[in-house]
A and B are shown apart, each in its own frame.
Chain A
Amino acid sequence: MRGVSDLAARFADYARERMPGASEIRVEDLERIFGGASRETWRLRLCYRDAGGRAEERRLILRRDPIGSLIETDRRIEFLAYRAFHRSAVPVPEALWLEEDPRWLEQPFFVMEELAGLESRPQMLLAPPYAEHCEKLGVQKWTILGEIAKADPEALGLIEAMERVSPDTAWRRELDHWEGVLDADEVCPQPIIRAAIRWLRRNPPPPAQRIAVVHADYRTGNFLFDTEGRIRAILDWEMAHLGDPLEDLAWSLNRIWCWARDERRGALLPKERAVRIWEESSGLRADARALHWWELFSCVKGQGIWVSSAREYESGKNQDPVLALAAWMQMNAQDRAALELMGQLA
């Protein structure tokens, strides 16, 4: 790929194939934006004339697989998750096209609508005009998470796309996966996380109350909000899978997301309040012992992500400085979070 203008031309060719009734198709203002390290994210305006000759314009987001990424994910599942939740109680942007043939843009990609003028950065919650809306955003955040837990994966059409798991083995599959990631990618020994893994295996959680869609990266930073304190879209479904809904709740409560340096999880609400809201919304119970297990598991999973980003950066496959920064800053925080949960933080 020879630069932005080449990408724009090739995407316009793709749009012509996808929109046979349209004419004068062109791509304007193509710009790479920061959208997480697991996909290249591009913003663009697609301009064209419809079948009736009327000038139209759509603001789109193009998510393309990079050479290296924080997380090895499945773009089809991410695309299908967006499709499944569109126009439901879980706000998501409209997913338009999934393309797995590399002949168009060299790598697989998918396209969705852009929701412009919104914010996602956690640090923006620490000052006006967003700081005054933290409580309101928190209520929505955990209510929406309850809606995801409540949704029927079969009715959503996701049961065929995602690997099935039973209520009593969901924990083991996830723990096996993330321990495998650590085995493969750790760049230095992880004595705290290894101790956490041994504890988790000795003390398995009760079976899941139900098998639900797990977003798997549900946290402040992965949703769009506006200046009125409304959550407008839940993003980054690339790790979505079927599993125990407590996995999502625990991940959303992970200490490393305490951006405001206080007890508010995700810089929004204290843990107890967030759990109550989730219970009311989902109709499920967050059993204290089970939630504790999943919170400690979240530390293992988090460390899996951070060591993978360190490995990716060190290997030279992807030298986005965000990878190095995330690994350096979060590995220590994740260790401290695990120690706290095990009652060992001095």
Chain B
Amino acid sequence: MLEVCATALMLDVAPHVAPSYRQSSVFASAILLTCIREELDRIASRRVEENRALRALFAGAAPGIEEASLRERLARAGAEDDADLRISALEARNAALRDLLIELHAHVEEQDSAEARRVEAVIWRELAASTARRKLGLNAF
């Protein structure tokens, strides 16, 4: 349905809209609908997948962290689950987990140990995976 709406906006509506500024807005709205169509199917799954990946990363990293406060917060976050599957709830948990990821990443960068390098490598893999999860087909890069 969204694809039909987007196509109708682009081909049937936009060419008849004036002035050109309004026409550009209609085109942008049509492309937004195309992006929403692509996102809709994965909207919950990518958040659940990412939250799980981050929790597994935290659970694996926690034992090697010497700083007690960070270790405890990692262990606690690593043991959580997404009980509420509403998008707003998943999004809020994702933001909290990514904040913790930033803190962990900055922490291990300062550590001079093989374990720190291992965790850092795991973080980079997860960050690369996070961009793949969010990539849109229309993106030029």
Please state if B24 and A328 are interface contacts (CB–CB under 8 Å).
no
B48, chain A: closest CB distance, angstroms: 17
**Which segment, of B61-69, B70-78, B79-87, B123-131, faces chain A?**
B123-131
Interface flags for A21-50 (1: CB within 8 Å of B; 0: not) read: 000000000011110000001000000000
Answer whether residue A344 sits at the interface, using C-beta atoms and an 8 A cutoff.
Answer: yes
> Does A188 have its Cβ within 8 Å of any Cβ on chain B?
yes
* Interface residue from B109, B127, B141 paired with A333 (Cβ < 8 Å): B141
Task: Out of B98, B134, B141, name the residue touching A337 (CB < 8 Å).
Answer: B141
Would you give the shortest CB distance from B117 to chain A, in whole angstroms? 14
Q: In the bound complex, do residue B136 and residue A336 qualify as a contact, i.e. CB atoms below 8 Å apart?
A: no
Task: Using A33-B20, A256-B140 as known contacts, say yes or no to A339 and B32 having CB atoms under 8 A apart.
Answer: no
Contact A325 B28 (CB under 8 A): yes
Cβ A321 vs Cβ B141 within 8 A? no
A156 close to B (CB within 8 Å): no
A139: CB under 8 A from chain B? Answer: no
Check B28 against A321 for contact (C-beta < 8 Å).
Answer: yes
Binary CB contact string for chain B from 100 to 129 against chain A (1 if under 8 A, 0 otherwise):
011001100100000000000000110111
A128 interfacial contact with B, CB 8 Å: no
Q: With A and B bound together, what is the CA distance between A198 and B105 in angstroms?
A: 10
Is B45 in contact with chain A by the CB < 8 A criterion?
no
- Complex interface bits, A186-199 against B, C-beta within 8 A gives 1, otherwise 0: 00110110110010
User: In whole Å, how far is A120's beta carbon from the nearest beta carbon of chain B?
Assistant: 12
B2 at the interface (CB under 8 A from A): no
Q: Any chain B CB within 8 A of the CB of A320?
A: yes
- With contacts A191-B105, A328-B35, A336-B141 taken as known, whether A346 is within 8 angstroms of B25 at the C-beta atoms is no
Cα(A328)–Cα(B135), bound, Å: 10
Q: Which residue in B28, B95, B127, B134 is a CB contact (below 8 Å) of A322?
A: B28
Task: Tell whether B12 is near chain A: CB-to-CB under 8 Å.
Answer: no
Q: Mark B27-51, 1 if CB is under 8 A from A, else 0.
A: 0110110010000000000000000
Beyond A191-B101, A322-B25, whether A339 also contacts B20 by CB under 8 A is no
| Contact of A34 with B139 in the complex, beta carbons under 8 Å | no
B129 to chain A minimum Cβ distance, whole angstroms, is 7
Is B1 interfacial (CB 8 A cutoff)? no
| A329 at interface by CB-CB < 8 Å | yes
> Known contacts A255-B141, A256-B140, A335-B131; is A189 also within 8 Å of B99 by CB?
yes
Task: Please determine whether A333 and B28 come into contact, CB atoms closer than 8 angstroms.
Answer: no
Which residues of A have CB within 8 Å of B105? 191, 194-195
**Nearest-neighbor residue (CB-CB) of B133 within chain A:** A332
Residues of A within 8 A of B131 (CB): 192, 332, 335-336, 339, 345
Q: Are A189 and B95 in contact (CB under 8 A)?
A: yes
Measured CB to CB, the closest approach of chain B to A31, in angstroms, equals 4
Q: Say whether B21 contacts A31, CB under 8 Å.
A: yes
- B97's nearest neighbour on chain A, judged by CB, is A189
Name the distance in Å between B119's Cβ and chain A's nearest Cβ.
13
Q: Which residues of A sit under 8 angstroms from B129, Cβ to Cβ?
A: 346
The reply to whether A329 and B98 form a contact with Cβ atoms under 8 Å apart is no
Task: Answer yes or no: A324 CB below 8 A from chain B CBs.
Answer: yes
Tell me if A261 is interfacial: C-beta within 8 Å of chain B.
yes
A255 vs B131: C-alpha distance in the bound complex, in angstroms?
Answer: 15
Interface check A85, CB cutoff 8 A: no
Q: How far is the CA of A259 from the CA of B125 in the complex (A)?
A: 26
Looking at the complex, which one of A333, A339, A344, A345 makes contact with B139 (CB distance below 8 Å)?
A333
- The minimal Cβ–Cβ distance linking A261 to chain B, given in whole angstroms, is 6
State the A residues within 8 Å of B (CB): 31-34, 41, 188-189, 191-192, 194-195, 198, 255-261, 320-322, 324-325, 328-329, 332-333, 335-337, 339, 344-346
Q: 4 shortest A-B CB distances, which residue pairs?
A: A189-B98, A32-B21, A321-B28, A34-B24
Supply 13 A–B pairs (Cβ within 8 Å), ascending by A.
A32-B19, A33-B20, A189-B101, A191-B127, A195-B102, A320-B25, A324-B28, A325-B35, A328-B35, A333-B141, A335-B134, A339-B127, A346-B125
Q: In the complex, given contacts A260-B140, A332-B134, A346-B125, what are 8 additional A-B residue pairs having Cβ atoms less than 8 angstroms apart?
A: A189-B101, A189-B102, A259-B140, A321-B25, A321-B28, A325-B28, A332-B139, A333-B139
